[in-house]
Amino acid sequence: MNSLEITVREATREDAVTIAQVVAMAIGDQQVLCDYCGEDYLSVLTEVASKEVSQYSWRYAYVADLNGVVAGAIVGYDGAKLAQLREGTLEVLRKRVIGRVPTMADETEAGEYYLDSIGVLPEFRGLGVGRELIAAFCKNVFAKGYERVGLIVDCDNARAEKLYISLGFKCVGTRLFFGHDMWHLQRTSSDD
């Protein structure tokens, strides 16, 4: 690729497979994925991403195209809607992963628009796709009138933390999620 053109657009239902891959990348731990979603976790997450109402719904996602090819995605939602959106996710898990209904800590709350998952497909890493996704995500969130974007990042993931800090996020505390200590970062519209 000689000239890189990164375009961020709203996701469509057809992007559900990419969204599922990104969510799996964001979770990162294959054992956790299997524990919560079963061995066929990508298929389960694709079904979750295909729903109208779920934490990982295509309706709450943006996709980055690099020279017309899908390179990554970002998913986020109003933290006040976490319980409603999580129920859509759990509905699929109850149906697909018989006998296991996961219990998860709340990673967000009312008052912030939550950046739940972001990922760049391996062949497109290091080209600025993640940075473009985050910038476009924040711009769109603030344009909708929200004042705060929040996220959590594993305390052991210094590289991701550095990226978020470089994009205007500030540490506001810690949270325990999936058994890991996480930094809670936020960026406000007044920081722009």
Residue 66 domain-assigned (yes or no) = yes
Containing structural domain, residue 120: 6-97+105-191
Q: How many residues does the chain have?
A: 192
Mean per-residue pLDDT for 17-43? 87
Residue 164: pLDDT over 80? yes
Tokens (6 digits) for 76: 């986020």
Whole-number Å distance between alpha carbons of 152 and 129 = 20
Residue 86: how many other CB atoms lie within 10 Å = 16
Backbone angles phi, psi at 48, to 5 degrees: -60, -45
Contact 71, 120 (CB under 8 A): yes
| For the chain, percent of residues with pLDDT exceeding 70 | 96
Report which of residues 35 and 134 the model is more confident about.
134
Q: 186: which DSSP letter?
A: E
List the beta bridge partners of residue 183. Answer: 153, 174
Residue 97: pLDDT over 90? no
pTM of the complete model:
0.92
Residue 1 domain-assigned (yes or no) = no
Whole-number Å distance between alpha carbons of 20 and 160 = 20
Using pLDDT thresholds of 50, 70 and 90, give the confidence band for residue 138.
Answer: very high
Single out the residue of 160, 151, 152, 149 nearest to residue 181, CA to CA.
152
Whole-number Å distance between alpha carbons of 125 and 168 = 21
Using pLDDT thresholds of 50, 70 and 90, give the confidence band for residue 1.
Answer: very low
Q: pLDDT averaged over the chain?
A: 91
Domain CATH number, residue 119: 3.40.630.30
Tokens (6 digits) for 107: 């990673």
- Among 48-52, 94-98, 166-170, the minimum mean pLDDT is found in 94-98
DSSP string over 62-95: EEEEETTEEEEEEEEEEGGGHHHHHHHHHHHHHH
Report which of residues 98 and 54 the model is more confident about.
54
Mean per-residue pLDDT for 27-31? 81
Using pLDDT thresholds of 50, 70 and 90, give the confidence band for residue 3.
Answer: confident
Tokens (6 digits) for 105: 């800590």
Residue 145 domain-assigned (yes or no) = yes
List the beta bridge partners of residue 69. Answer: 66
Tokens (6 digits) for 9: 């657009």
- pLDDT score of 99: 67
In the chain, the number of structural domains is: 1
Residue 15 domain-assigned (yes or no) = yes
